[in-house]
Amino acid sequence: MTGFALSPDHRPRLKRGVKLARDAARNTDILNAPERIVVLDEIAAEILKSCDGNNSIAMIAASLAAAHAEDEAVVCADVMELLSDLVAQGFVE
């Protein structure tokens, strides 16, 4: 994957024009972006709801790990992988 190297201190947010939305007809969460739509799984949607520019990646991972009783380091690595991919694709900054 040609993702971006992110630090756990980085406070991610959706780029201008990128919006989380509920697709009721297909019963899924999506990202709406200029000329693009990304279908999100439940975990990705949960992570992106926290990407408001205030929460750091470490904070997002910690609350996710607590909510799902998972190992924080493992969750943090997963969150970084997802977000670095979305940064490279221009959805998150």
Give the footprint of other proteins on this chain (CB under 8 A). 2, 4, 15-19, 21, 23-26, 30, 32, 34-35, 37, 87-90, 93
**Residue 87 Cβ vs other proteins, minimum distance, rounded to whole Å:** 5
The minimum distance between CB 47 and other proteins, in angstroms, equals 18
Give me the sign of the Cα torsion angle 82, 86, 87, 89: positive
Residue among 1, 9, 20 at smallest CA distance from 92: 20
C-alpha R_g of the chain: 13
Neighbours of 29 (CB within 10 A): 19
C-beta of 23 vs 70, nearer to other proteins: 23
CB of 67 to other proteins, least distance (A): 28
64/86 with CB nearer other proteins: 86
The Cα 27–Cα 50 span in angstroms is 21
The nearer residue to other proteins, 34 or 53, going by C-beta atoms, is 34
